[in-house]
Each structure stands twice: as C-alpha cells, then as structure tokens.
C-alpha cells in the first residue's frame, strides 16, 4: 500500500509551510500525497496562491503522515469543531503527526500536545504552553510520533529528516542536493536572536493583529 501523506489546506494558509515539506515528501517513492479540506473547492493562501484540495475530510483515507501547516487562517480553525475532529481522528491512527510553524497550535487545540515537547514559529512559541505542551527550541522537535517544525522554512528540514528516517540519509541528501537546499541568506536576521531590535519590532508589529486574534481564541478554548 502507498504511504499516505496528508496536508491540511485551508483559506489563508501560509503556503510555504505546506509547499516546502510537500516538495520534499513528494519525492518519497511509494507515497501518495493529499491536500485535504472540507470541500474540493480551491482555497486561497495568505499571499494569494490558489491551492486545490484533492480530498475532503469525508473522503480522505487513513493517513500515515498528517501535517498541519500554519498561517493566519489557523485563527478560525482553533475553534472549528469539524476541523479539530478530523485532525483528532487522523492523528489517532497516523504513524507520524506533524506540523509546520503555527500549525502546531491546531494540534494543541485538538488536545494532541499535552505533556509533549513541541516547537512553532518564534512569535507563537509562548502560546504552546496554553495547550499543556512543553515549548522546546529547535528547527525540528520530535517527541515520539509527534514532529513539529519551527517557522515556515523549517518545513524543509522536517521533510528531509523524514526522508532520512523512511529511506536513508543518502536519499535525503540526494533530495537536498536536488532542490539545492544550501541556506546562505543575504542577511543574518532569520531569528529573533540575530535580527536587530528595530527589525524584530517591525516583525512583531506586522503580525500583531493576527496574534491578538490568536490569543483571544486560545483564551476562549482554555478558559484563561
């Protein structure tokens, strides 16, 4: 049987959270990849890219790997019973339960992070504790069958780590070379620790509205 990989896709998803690990995991021989949403209607990512689901919550088969990407669209999903029910059901039988960026908060809202080490985007890392998780620094954090990746581009690291586990390090390195994944950014501002105080403040301000919505949703969920 094919190794079934399923990505939750939803309006205002951060497309690179999804497409980065998708690009890596789609190379896995014998796998079949699903983009799953409530309907098969195309959805628009946060930056305008159109993504088309190929499975619904009702038609998606049992997944070997469930991946929840993040983005502004998770704010609504934190309280969406239909989505959380689907996530719990698939997670209960999946070999790997995974997330990229703020997708980890969906796992938290589904009750899947209690007592487990997890990471997420730096600007949401503190929110993990509200779901009983153990916030842990790292590009990729593993706790049993739970694998969470940090912000956005960490999805590539997560994908490569899975390829190595499922096949071999040599295969993962071949995939890495194929996509020429050799980060050498023009600026050393990729983490809060290396960015200047002005850049950090600007980034926080840019995400402030979404952060407030997220905090309010989490407060309603957890009663805090």
Active site positions, annotated: 101
Structure tokens at 125: 């890392």
The phi, psi pair for 137, rounded to 5°, reads -75, 145
Return the residue matching tokens 């850049």: 199
Phi/psi at 208 (5° precision): -65, -45
Helix intervals (H) in 29-168: 74-77, 81-91, 103-109, 154-166
Helices 154-166 and 169-178 meet at what angle, rounded to 10?
A: 140
Kind and range of the H or E run holding 205: helix 197-206
Handedness of CA 38, 40, 42, 45 (dihedral sign): positive
Signed CA dihedral, 213, 141, 81, 127: sign only: negative
Contact 75, 219 (CB under 8 A): no
């Amino acid at each position: 049987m094919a190794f079934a990989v399923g990505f939750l896709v939803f309006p205002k998803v951060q497309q690179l959270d999804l497409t980065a690990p998708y690009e890596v995991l789609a190379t896995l021989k014998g796998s079949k990849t699903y983009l799953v949403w409530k309907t098969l209607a195309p959805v628009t990512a946060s930056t305008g890219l159109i993504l088309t689901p190929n499975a619904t919550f009702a038609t998606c088969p049992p997944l070997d790997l469930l991946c929840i990407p993040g983005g502004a669209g998770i704010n609504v999903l934190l309280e969406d019973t239909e989505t959380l029910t689907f996530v719990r059901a698939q997670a209960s039988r999946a070999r790997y339960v995974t997330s990229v960026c703020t997708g980890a908060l969906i796992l938290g809202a589904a009750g899947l992070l209690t007592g487990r080490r997890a990471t997420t985007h730096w600007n949401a890392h503190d929110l993990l504790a509200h779901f009983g998780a153990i916030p842990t620094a790292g590009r990729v954090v593993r706790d049993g069958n739970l694998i969470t990746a940090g912000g956005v581009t960490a999805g590539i690291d997560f994908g490569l780590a899975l390829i190595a586990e499922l096949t071999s390090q040599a295969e993962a390195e071949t995939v890495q070379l194929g996509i020429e994944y050799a980060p050498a950014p023009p600026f050393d501002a990729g983490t809060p620790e290396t960015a200047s105080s002005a850049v950090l403040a600007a980034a926080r301000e840019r995400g402030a509205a979404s952060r407030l919505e997220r905090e309010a949703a989490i407060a309603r969920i957890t009663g805090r």
